[in-house]
Structure 1
């Protein structure tokens, strides 16, 4: 909403010397956010001039200019620019005559653009200024010729300051009006808010005595509509007023043109400008009809099948059965609250006007405006709610301006159909606002704030009974009233205090561990992503299970993408798509991870079949259990994808390509961060490289896999041949460990280190052999690491030599070499029992 300051000052006392910034600051205090400042960007000297004479001079380029002598100051006086009273000016327009009063911009003036004016030589003359057009002054878009003041109905003395005369010295503030505060779409509403902010005296323009109008049998109107869905009429009030004998050809006065321009509305014609002016002033949309083009009385009704209407924008529109219409005996003449019809529009030939000021159902108007893609200044206001009690006063205000500016007479009485609904009273408990806002407001502050916004306040048991004003349909419950008290008393009264969380309500164990995993991966150089949870059946089946050809999945009823209608059962396709996208943009070394939900329904079971509660009452425990039972399992997984170089090439250091080792390193990092004893075993997966796939276990439970994608799958996704991936079930990890951090403990007693080389079959997994050694060696074995895997000369065919580095330590004494050797041999004995291993000679 744009608010010209001169207009605002008519209804509220602005502080002396107030600037646009001061007014903005005051309105911000009551919650109206500042947007912009608008001015005409014109500076003087700009004066009224009189054309004394001119000579038309044809030019070689085919153009004819006029060399004009223009009086810009009374005889014997100096012009505003310090020059003579008569200036010679070159002008290319030809729509003026000798004796016309015009607007002259003298040297030193600046017009919008900015366009500075100076004496300059052109067409063989020194042009000492410029005769301005409407567009050059910023008052409109017309540029066919210069502005003749007679066309505005203005006759001022030569030398008069034209900036003040035309209202070009005014400025407007622009504020953001939220959907719940539609009353601020008017000068009336903003003036009231400025009064709240500063305590300045507010004069309600809708209650002026001149607008008190007798109501009787005016123009015949009937409301023939009851909206069955909402149970209320599409129009609650319909007021009319008739003005006869107007002169529609009269010009719109400059003060109205400048105010409309600053408010963002183009001047069209006097009669239309008046209706727009009153809409901005009071917030009540107005429509004017050419009374002589109406047939019979007006009926407000819904459209019927096949009905059409040509609106003021020249478009012929096919109407919907829900559209609310203004009709006469010939049919539809307007879309109620949105736009009028072309057949009855006011024109220069109009002499008798029917003024309409109605209150329409916000939902109906909003639907019609969106259905026809026809937003308008009227619909913007009706959508947010218009004061239903100002229709008669608004029609009277339009009639007043038409009589004073366009002549004519007003019929003695106004016609009104309908009665606005009374606002419902709200019970406001004592102490509620202080408990909600956190400020100790006094009873006088609470009552005074509510009365200041126009509410009626009465005492009630244990509190107040508050009836909101008619212009505040957004006030519907006690919390709205509490917000008004806080707003009017001042937001600065609300202390900046951080709430203290009650003990025991911090992060849960699962939340802490999930964050630890994400932080660990990010700290290791990986980037977190968030992928769409929708996949095609092929991706779910390929990556969702190590060996099953078909994976059960939930199909979305109304999928965003027909090629991806299923909820994901794995995170890998999302990571692959993100890697492909980034790789195509030149990021060749990537490490991505995601922590998110996957959906793993049971095969053959239907989900989401439970009946939804009505919403009338809270659902019962049985209903909640049934709803929860209809939700498929949604475990939280973590997925990692790594490609490119783990270590980039640099001087003295060749590049180190990433691979399965990096995926296993990520497993180790997760295990250390969470304290989870993740065991890595040889595994297989239909989407993974054979021999480069590890299965991840905690105890006897498999929680995921790590390794490298099949090279062909990677190439099919436009990725390098080697792509390392990892996916594990975080929920299963949480269930399988107490997450006690045990890594990194440094012993205080000396350790004993020994190596153990075992010859086993090449088919024996190294991890399983190492696990057998660890189990057999007992509690003295602190750490075991595989350091060599030898196959070749000196070994029998089909065998390999696995060398483990062992570290032994006792918590209470220094181990002897014999104790360490005994434990080592116990471990090799168990490996021999399980895998036929023997110590290499």
Structure 2
């Protein structure tokens, strides 16, 4: 928000200097980013009129001007500005003036004497316009000092606002904060109703429900739209970063900056009525003020004339109904639109406007009437005309209304650690425009309707803290004993998960929690999606239902930048919409995901280079599972984004944790990734859960190992076979290792040879050959019975 210092002081008289004012604004949360001083060093610059101008005989672009500076005699000035002409009133730097680094003196230009310099606004440091001389009104008093005439010195102050302070997108809104912080009073403002002298009205229809609950309009006939914007208004706009355009447009801009209410002016001759507000329809289009054609869908609000769109509500008016210098009758609009109805709509069209910026954050719903009366008075004063009555359409039940908030003395002390006098509490809150009534142990406080950010007691305490001064709150160390929270032993902490993955040479990454809907379609993840109501862009419009789409995209970006070996992981939340009444909140699941590609090992001389494969990533996962004591099983997966022969669903007992495998080559190609990518994604909570550790005695007796080679049908998975072996071997089995798999010569078609090692041990005695043979016999019988497997001959 950029504004004129003098404009602010007209709302809140304060004796604070410019530096003090800047410091106060920053201290109360309205951070000053830039202060551009205006009018310094212009003591010898006066208002002057060009009486005559002739071409310089030695230079086509120069003119010899005779200038009246109010000194009784004409001064000869050589000037190269393209707009220099007889009758023009412009600033003149007299001989002896210092303009920036330039000292003005008598000079000869191409042999012609020049006694001063006619100036542009940029040369004077008042604006960035250097296209010609700074044109002053024809009635400007010749000879008067420019500083006095323009109300200088002044400063253009730019502040950085947080999104919750929408009320400070106006000079008057800022004035309340300044008044509270400097113990001043805001000058009362009352937009008196302008008497109606005309009779023409346009009916107004609201058909957008709570999205547009208030709309005011007024017809003003017989205006002189070609009248010049008065200098005082033009300067306030210019010093606030707004270039004056035309009188009617400037008035609406001025009211918006002054009070905070965006407005729009329509050429009444282009309207037939009634005026309405409704949702746009898919396929509609509207030519906007900037000349572009906006293709609309059903998410926009439009202002209509006889159901024909004539403006994007809260964003920009239409081109065909704009006011011009030829306009004689005007229709003024002031409305309240709900922030949710405007959020993100401008970004859809690549459009950023001052009105949209304000409506997105919230505009005072009580402001439209005061704004339209204020604008009407300015139009009648500066452009003439007759005003009809204000027409209003209102859905009172849909207007936001502030509720009283209980503020307790004890709570203030508890939160801030200091006691603020009752009188100071009431002074601060009333200076901020709040209604304060003493009640019980504190007060009942009602915030003004412009303060959307005040909703609970802590909001009021925050206001007290920032205005009373953070420097008034002492710095103290917390007292008392600190509670020590012991970490649970029944789950693996996230930090331990991160350390484990880092130890496996995986690098952590953080991706956005929202992704492109088209990317999810490539992954065939289209069920139970959670779309964003106000996305940053079309590419980030859906909450992620899984971590892998974003993580694989990150891998792809690294591969595209010549990263040969990429190993990434992420721990984050995935989101899924829930069905049910009352629009339940999306289901959030904490997950861990990893992606790898390239070489299995970092480049070195001791190992031959080989590409990473499924079993490398499976080893990383099993190492992570071992940290929590989880025993995992793997079953063939049918996930559409996985390679059909190189992917598996991961289980812990009967609970499916997630997926591991190779990303389908078609999907990788669609994402412009030309290497094999292996990935995993699992729910973190069931993976990290572990049983409470219990100490147990180690066996003092030797273990016995027996190796078995069995022929099993190809359709039998090792996990199923291993489960049968463990069940048959019973409590004597300590470990079961698969150390070989063979198919080929010597193995009949349709079968595979699996070699496993059984390690047997008892805690109370040394096992005999009879004990071991009994276990082996039971295992062989079980696998033959359950899986038609047999010992290989």
TM-score, with structure 2 as normaliser: 0.66
Give the whole-Å Cα distance in 2 for the aligned partners of 1:335 and 1:575: 38
Q: 1:527: which partner in 2?
A: 507
Q: 1:670: which partner in 2?
A: 624
Give the whole-Å Cα distance in 2 for the aligned partners of 1:825 and 1:168: 109
Tell me if 1:96 matches 2:101: no
Asked whether the equivalents of residues 220 and 415 of structure 1 are also in contact (C-alpha less than 8 Å), the reply is: yes
**TM-fit CA distance, 1:525:** 1.5
Within 5 Å, which residues of 2 pair with 1:252-267?
252-253=230-231, 255-267=232-244
Tell me if 1:591 matches 2:567: yes
Asked whether the equivalents of residues 636 and 647 of structure 2 are also in contact (C-alpha less than 8 Å), the reply is: yes
Q: 1:204 aligns with which of 149, 167, 187?
A: 187
Q: 1:173 aligns with which of 157, 161, 181?
A: 157
Change (3 A) 1:506 1:163: farther
Within 5 Å, which residues of 2 pair with 1:348-387?
360-363=335-338, 384-385=363-364, 387=367
Change (3 A) 1:493 1:248: same
Q: 1:79: which partner in 2?
A: none
Asked whether the equivalents of residues 72 and 87 of structure 1 are also in contact (C-alpha less than 8 Å), the reply is: no
- Matched residue SS, 1:647: coil
Change (3 A) 1:689 1:486: closer
- Matched residue SS, 1:95: coil
**TM-fit CA distance, 1:339:** 5.6
**TM-fit CA distance, 1:469:** 4.7
Asked whether the equivalents of residues 221 and 417 of structure 1 are also in contact (C-alpha less than 8 Å), the reply is: no
Deviations 1:562-585 (A, max 9, x none): xxxx99999878776665554343
Give the whole-Å Cα distance in 1 for the aligned partners of 2:322 and 2:661: 77
- Matched residue SS, 1:10: helix
Q: 1:548: which partner in 2?
A: none
- Matched residue SS, 1:175: strand
Q: 1:66: which partner in 2?
A: 63
Give the whole-Å Cα distance in 1 for the aligned partners of 2:275 and 2:647: 72
Deviations 1:80-114 (A, max 9, x none): xxxxx978745354733499765238798556xx9
- Matched residue SS, 2:567: strand
Tell me if 1:56 matches 2:55: yes
**TM-fit CA distance, 1:739:** 6.0
Tell me if 1:6 matches 2:13: no
Change (3 A) 1:45 1:18: closer
Q: 1:454: which partner in 2?
A: 433
Asked whether the equivalents of residues 437 and 494 of structure 1 are also in contact (C-alpha less than 8 Å), the reply is: no
Within 5 Å, which residues of 2 pair with 1:266-665?
266-268=243-245, 273=250, 276-277=253-254, 280-283=257-260, 301-302=275-276, 347=325, 360-363=335-338, 384-385=363-364, 387=367, 390=370, 394=374, 398=378, 402=382, 426=404, 428=406, 430=408, 434=412, 437=415, 441-460=420-439, 464-469=443-448, 481=460, 483-490=462-469, 512=492, 516-528=496-508, 554=527, 579-580=555-556, 582-593=558-569, 610=580, 612-613=581-582, 640-650=594-604, 654-655=608-609, 657-665=611-619
Give the whole-Å Cα distance in 2 for the aligned partners of 1:349 and 1:772: 93
Change (3 A) 1:397 1:495: farther
- Matched residue SS, 2:623: helix
The runs of 5 or more residues in structure 2 that have no matched partner are 536-541, 745-750, 784-789
Asked whether the equivalents of residues 430 and 464 of structure 1 are also in contact (C-alpha less than 8 Å), the reply is: yes
Asked whether the equivalents of residues 188 and 281 of structure 1 are also in contact (C-alpha less than 8 Å), the reply is: yes
Asked whether the equivalents of residues 438 and 494 of structure 1 are also in contact (C-alpha less than 8 Å), the reply is: yes
Asked whether the equivalents of residues 103 and 132 of structure 1 are also in contact (C-alpha less than 8 Å), the reply is: yes
Give the whole-Å Cα distance in 1 for the aligned partners of 2:520 and 2:91: 73
Give the whole-Å Cα distance in 1 for the aligned partners of 2:759 and 2:122: 91
Asked whether the equivalents of residues 110 and 116 of structure 1 are also in contact (C-alpha less than 8 Å), the reply is: yes
Asked whether the equivalents of residues 30 and 487 of structure 1 are also in contact (C-alpha less than 8 Å), the reply is: yes
Asked whether the equivalents of residues 785 and 804 of structure 1 are also in contact (C-alpha less than 8 Å), the reply is: yes
- Matched residue SS, 2:138: helix
Q: 1:18: which partner in 2?
A: 18
Give the whole-Å Cα distance in 2 for the aligned partners of 1:527 and 1:360: 52
**TM-fit CA distance, 1:505:** 8.8
Deviations 1:321-375 (A, max 9, x none): 9866799xxx99999997699889584997xx9996x863334997699699898
Q: 1:760: which partner in 2?
A: 709
The runs of 5 or more residues in structure 1 that have no matched partner are 77-84, 542-552, 561-565, 601-606, 616-626, 793-797, 812-818
Asked whether the equivalents of residues 643 and 720 of structure 1 are also in contact (C-alpha less than 8 Å), the reply is: no
Change (3 A) 1:260 1:746: farther
**TM-fit CA distance, 1:700:** 8.8
Q: 2:747: which partner in 1?
A: none
Q: 2:776 aligns with which of 831, 834, 838?
A: 831
Give the whole-Å Cα distance in 2 for the aligned partners of 1:806 and 1:289: 89
Asked whether the equivalents of residues 685 and 693 of structure 1 are also in contact (C-alpha less than 8 Å), the reply is: yes
Tell me if 1:738 matches 2:684: no
Asked whether the equivalents of residues 211 and 341 of structure 2 are also in contact (C-alpha less than 8 Å), the reply is: no
Give the whole-Å Cα distance in 2 for the aligned partners of 1:696 and 1:368: 42
Give the whole-Å Cα distance in 1 for the aligned partners of 2:42 and 2:728: 97
Q: CA RMSD in A?
A: 7.0
**TM-fit CA distance, 1:261:** 0.6
- Matched residue SS, 2:159: strand
317-326 or 165-174, larger mean C-alpha shift: 317-326
Q: 2:539: which partner in 1?
A: none
Asked whether the equivalents of residues 405 and 455 of structure 2 are also in contact (C-alpha less than 8 Å), the reply is: no
Deviations 1:45-99 (A, max 9, x none): 8623677987633558xx34335687989799xxxxxxxx978745354733499
**TM-fit CA distance, 1:175:** 2.7
Deviations 1:293-322 (A, max 9, x none): 9899x9985379999999987899999998
Asked whether the equivalents of residues 219 and 388 of structure 2 are also in contact (C-alpha less than 8 Å), the reply is: yes
- Matched residue SS, 1:220: coil
Give the whole-Å Cα distance in 1 for the aligned partners of 2:599 and 2:45: 75
Change (3 A) 1:648 1:125: farther
- Matched residue SS, 2:10: coil
Deviations 1:704-751 (A, max 9, x none): 88777899999999878876666667666567x516388xx998x999
Deviations 1:669-690 (A, max 9, x none): 223311234579xx76687798
Give the whole-Å Cα distance in 2 for the aligned partners of 1:694 and 1:4: 66
Give the whole-Å Cα distance in 2 for the aligned partners of 1:183 and 1:667: 53
Tell me if 1:151 matches 2:138: yes
Give the whole-Å Cα distance in 1 for the aligned partners of 2:548 and 2:403: 58
Give the whole-Å Cα distance in 2 for the aligned partners of 1:367 and 1:593: 37
**TM-fit CA distance, 1:521:** 1.5
Tell me if 1:133 matches 2:120: yes
Give the whole-Å Cα distance in 1 for the aligned partners of 2:211 and 2:742: 88
Asked whether the equivalents of residues 2 and 175 of structure 1 are also in contact (C-alpha less than 8 Å), the reply is: yes
Give the whole-Å Cα distance in 2 for the aligned partners of 1:53 and 1:716: 72
Give the whole-Å Cα distance in 2 for the aligned partners of 1:120 and 1:430: 73
Asked whether the equivalents of residues 45 and 97 of structure 2 are also in contact (C-alpha less than 8 Å), the reply is: no
Asked whether the equivalents of residues 304 and 311 of structure 2 are also in contact (C-alpha less than 8 Å), the reply is: yes
Change (3 A) 1:135 1:268: farther
Give the whole-Å Cα distance in 2 for the aligned partners of 1:187 and 1:518: 50
**TM-fit CA distance, 1:262:** 0.6
Asked whether the equivalents of residues 45 and 108 of structure 1 are also in contact (C-alpha less than 8 Å), the reply is: yes
Deviations 1:450-469 (A, max 9, x none): 32233343445676454555
Aligned residue pairs total: 747
For the pair shown, the structure with the greater C-alpha radius of gyration is: 1
